[in-house]
């Protein structure tokens, strides 16, 4: 491809690394290298493992080197992992989970799809490739996985780079949502200060949805509370301004009065459907759970913020949080509602981090913390950073959660330089 060499790899790993008799699944990873390096030269470059955000996000598909990939490919071979259950790895979706039987059996299977298992896969893959300790770059949830890597297998890491992904090491998911709902409220205020006309427009759309049946291209009725999920735009650096372009497409005139346009409904469907990423909804709250149940944390905590209620005088947009009703309104998630309830009630989640190991960490770590990040709270991130030895923080208010997508080359280079011994 354009300046880029891509090679696919398939690895077979245990479903449960602690029990080899549990059966195996496949993990797919794609290797990227720059054509600036000949094949023989590229084969001797050190590896960089990229851990994608999510949970449930497949590795980046690219047809050319841009952004952070450009910077990384100057000195690394990049291994783009399709974390278990995603992309070309053995899938975990409504069709495959149904074959396992009861919701309890499906939930038990999914307990092997968290960060600890992803890290164990990565270590098996590293050894299969014959790589010495490698560099790991984790974005968002990939940063959470990187912290687990530092806890469980630091001997496999030469250095770690983390962007918008320092998870709380202890505590209940409730603390996450109390912090992030407050950040989302601030981001709503910022957005509507730029586009004050959109304040009335959003309220008008939501009242319209209460009074008139409007249907998404997949056939289900669009509700006001589901529309609020388009607040995912608010986590973007420059992407946030795309929200204005979306809202301006909302209405079209008809002989029976204003209706939502097909253009608007098509765009909204792409934002509020989890058809292509069901694991995100299923596993989202479990990524914070250690020894306690989430019990639909985001939905419970939302009740503490009435300004987000759809019937508020000036309702706010929410974002990527996951709610119980999501499994009723999204047709892609309805078959998974029973297993989602089992996962939400699960008390005995294992530990994801070893605070003692992290406190004695010797692997160089550099982490970008975004001051106004609406998904990975700045204060919780800094508390984690203070608990990890040898971790250097670069805090910046210049970027938001997807900063690596906007200025990835500069962010990567800065973090890499911070880990030089």
| Cα–Cα nearest to 79, from 15, 153, 27 | 27
Q: What residue ranges of the chain have pLDDT lower than 50? A: none
Q: What is the pLDDT of residue 1?
A: 83
Instruction: List, in sequence order, every residue forming a beta bridge with 24; answer none if it has no partner.
Output: 14
**Domain parsing of the chain, residue ranges:** 4-170+353-418, 173-344
What does the pLDDT read at residue 300? 97
pLDDT of residue 319: 84
The third-level CATH classification (topology) of the domain covering 4-170+353-418 is Rossmann fold (3.40.50)
The span from the CA of 91 to the CA of 84, in Å, is: 7
Q: How far apart are CA 91 and CA 203, in angstroms?
A: 39
pLDDT at 32: 97
Given the residues 255, 348, 417, 420, select the one marked as catalytic. Answer: 348
Q: Is 401 a catalytic residue?
A: yes
Rounded to an integer, what distance in angstroms lies between the CA atom of residue 134 and that of residue 78?
Answer: 10
Q: What is the distance between the alpha carbons of residues 241 and 359, in angstroms, rounded to a whole number?
A: 40
Instruction: State pTM to two decimals.
Output: 0.97
From 93, 232, 401, 402, the catalytic residue: 401
Closest CA to 117 of 47, 55, 176, 162: 55
Catalytic residue, from 140, 273, 297, 381: name it.
140
- Give the model's pLDDT for residue 93: 95
Concatenate the DSSP letters of all residues of 237-278 into one string.
SSGGGHHHHHHHTSEEEETTEEEE-HHHHHHHHHHH--TT-H
Let me know if 36 is a catalytic residue.
no
| Residue 326, pLDDT score | 97
Average pLDDT, the chain: 97
Task: Give pLDDT tens digits for 122-159.
Answer: 999 999 999 999 999 999 999 999 999 999 999 999 99
pLDDT of residue 331: 96
């Amino acid at each position: 491809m354009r300046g880029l060499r891509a090679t696919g790899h398939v690895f077979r790993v245990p479903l449960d690394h602690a029990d080899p008799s549990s059966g195996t699944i496949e993990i797919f990873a794609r290797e990227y290298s720059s054509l600036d390096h000949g094949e023989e030269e590229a084969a001797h470059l050190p590896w960089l493992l990229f851990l994608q955000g999510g949970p449930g996000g497949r590795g980046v598909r690219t047809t050319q080197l841009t952004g952070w990939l450009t910077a990384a490919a100057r000195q690394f071979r990049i291994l783009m992992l399709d974390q278990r259950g995603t992309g070309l790895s053995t899938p975990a979706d409504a069709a495959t989970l149904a074959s396992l039987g009861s919701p309890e059996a499906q939930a038990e299977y999914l307990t092997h799809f968290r960060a600890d298992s992803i890290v164990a896969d990565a270590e098996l893959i590293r050894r299969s490739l014959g790589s010495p300790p490698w560099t790991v770059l984790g974005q968002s949830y990939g940063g959470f996985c990187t912290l687990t890597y530092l806890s469980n297998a630091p001997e496999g890491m030469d250095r770690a780079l983390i962007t918008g992904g320092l998870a709380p090491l202890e505590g209940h998911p409730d603390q996450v949502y109390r912090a992030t709902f407050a950040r989302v409220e601030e981001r709503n205020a910022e957005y509507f200060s730029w586009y004050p006309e959109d304040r009335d427009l959003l309220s008008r759309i939501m009242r319209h949805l209460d009074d008139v049946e409007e249907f998404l291209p997949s056939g289900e009725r669009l509700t006001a509370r589901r529309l609020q999920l388009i607040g995912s735009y608010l986590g973007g650096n420059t992407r946030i301004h795309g929200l204005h372009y979306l809202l301006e497409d909302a209405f079209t005139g008809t002989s029976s009065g204003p209706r939502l346009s097909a253009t608007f409904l098509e765009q909204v469907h792409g934002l509020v459907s989890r058809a292509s990423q069901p694991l995100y909804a299923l596993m989202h709250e479990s990524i914070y759970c250690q020894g306690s149940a989430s019990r639909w944390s985001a939905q419970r905590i939302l009740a503490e913020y009435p300004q987000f209620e759809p019937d508020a005088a000036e309702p706010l947009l929410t974002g990527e949080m996951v709610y119980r009703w999501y499994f009723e309104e999204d047709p892609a998630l309805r078959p998974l509602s029973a297993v989602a309830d089992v996962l939400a009630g699960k008390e005995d989640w294992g530990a994801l981090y070893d605070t003692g190991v992290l406190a004695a960490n010797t692997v160089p770590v550099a982490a970008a913390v975004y001051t106004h990040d609406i998904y990975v709270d700045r204060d919780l991130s800094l508390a984690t950073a203070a608990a990890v030895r040898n971790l250097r923080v670069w805090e910046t208010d210049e970027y938001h959660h997807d900063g690596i997508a906007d200025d990835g080359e500069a962010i990567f280079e800065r973090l890499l330089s911070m880990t030089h011994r």
